[in-house]
Structure 1
């Protein structure tokens, strides 16, 4: 089976600038993870993206993004093309990690579903999650972001969230206690999501015995908020319908945006689902002419 490199067809990593040098990145946003507690900002978001600069085609991680504090003109959606000024995250050994400069995010335009998105992303789809994990065992600077095809999805687990840990709650409380009483912004504490979710699947590696990875997608948490009036059973059923039955249906070519943890490089989570429709027989015939 032919397998594309993590870095795309040319298999070339583009080096980051020297330490401390600001770069302007032009990116296709692919992942907006659910917010996490932050002592300094109340909450922060990790964003995954693909560089669309011809000379710097690579995966990019932006952290931290204080999304609720962004002006409306700077807010962006998944599959927006944006520019942002950023510095290499020198304290993070993962080569894709950058630290964005607040207020420099500039959305350009949104990519609609279909050929426009596929033209950027399809060349970066990989077949082996197993190989990606192996690479992190072998090298500390191994790829930490990828788009991995799900060969066989066996199910989705949805469980009640246990709530913030004492450390996470302390961050939230500390941030709220530091707010200036003259601040005219209405700040509400970040609420823990109602549920956690994880996918069970096999990649196309012949050695694969299966993967179970947590889903950290902003959209997964946002849907939970909209289902607040439903019982746990009803809400869980709606989540499973959306993220398993619909997004991962047989007529979709499903791949997962995955990323690992800085402290646990071999632990990967799913930041989002890439699920373009499978080409019909008619389209395949046309493409083969």
Structure 2
């Protein structure tokens, strides 16, 4: 969304905390939701959560495709069509990638950004009238996966057909599975949330596409097992897992996991 001439826009620094897997929108075509942390201009102190939406990430110029855990500078403005206070629009052409935050010293610098932004629970996020945040569950009780639609809806297919005609691009892969966690918070509340983190969907796609199995079913089964190994065997045993969560615009009480934060224990 290129709004470079809009006077309300201000240049801000943002730490990119997570990106959701692209979806097909009849209004915005192909969109990605990015969650990040607004930073102080002078010392990079974390200030507040922000949501950048909509953004057609795969259509960005290559030098503006910000990776996760990068600090960017960009012109943004409050999204006046979204009641959630964290929601902003961005001028795509203004994006500058400043630096990438590494994993040295057990994710020390990443923790310095994320830990001050923690909430105790989903309930606290709601009580403070926020729509995005990070929580650390008391226990992660179960990993799960489930099958979903294998095809985009008819409306979404129509949007893709228009995109292919006017703006040739690589077709967006529909992932026919959802992954998620059932977990318990510190206050004893239990939740069962699906994960929309692009990183996890990419893990599935890479494992499927690299599989040497001869059938689609075999490749998918191998990919599902690789994802399970990562999210269950590795993350639940070796990593100190927290969830970046966000709600849905049209269902403010419905949250999902939009990103995983997983430094080693």
Q: Normalization by structure 2: what TM-score?
A: 0.85
Structure 1 or 2: larger helix share? 2
Alignment map for 1:265-280 (pairs within 5 Å): 265-278=252-265
Equivalent pair of 2:26/2:155 in contact (CA under 8 Å): no
What does residue 234 of structure 1 align with? 222
Structure 1 or 2: larger strand share? 2
Alignment map for 1:200-219 (pairs within 5 Å): 200-206=182-188, 208=189, 210-219=190-199
What does residue 139 of structure 2 align with? 152
Query: Does residue 34 in structure 1 map to residue 38 in structure 2?
Result: no
Equivalent pair of 1:150/1:203 in contact (CA under 8 Å): yes
Equivalent pair of 2:15/2:37 in contact (CA under 8 Å): yes
What does residue 96 of structure 2 align with? 106
In the aligned structure 2, how far is the partner of 1:41 from the partner of 1:222?
Answer: 22
* Deviation, structure 1 residue 31: 0.8
Q: Say which of 32, 37, 40 aligns to 1:45.
A: 32
Equivalent pair of 1:41/1:175 in contact (CA under 8 Å): no
**1:127-157: CA deviation from partner (whole Å, max 9, x where unpaired):** 2123334x38xxxxx1000101021111121
Is there any run of 5+ residues in structure 2 with no aligned partner, and where?
1-5
What does residue 176 of structure 2 align with? 194
Equivalent pair of 2:22/2:198 in contact (CA under 8 Å): yes
Is there any run of 5+ residues in structure 1 with no aligned partner, and where?
1-18, 137-141, 279-289
In the aligned structure 2, how far is the partner of 1:36 from the partner of 1:112?
Answer: 28
SS at match of 1:170: helix
Q: CA RMSD in A?
A: 2.1
What does residue 55 of structure 2 align with? 65
In the aligned structure 2, how far is the partner of 1:132 from the partner of 1:74?
Answer: 31
Cα 1:104/1:247, change in 2 over 3 Å: farther
In the aligned structure 1, how far is the partner of 2:200 from the partner of 2:148?
Answer: 13
What does residue 82 of structure 2 align with? 92
* Deviation, structure 1 residue 191: 2.1
Larger Rg: 1
SS at match of 2:178: strand
Alignment map for 1:177-192 (pairs within 5 Å): 177=165, 179=166, 186-192=168-174
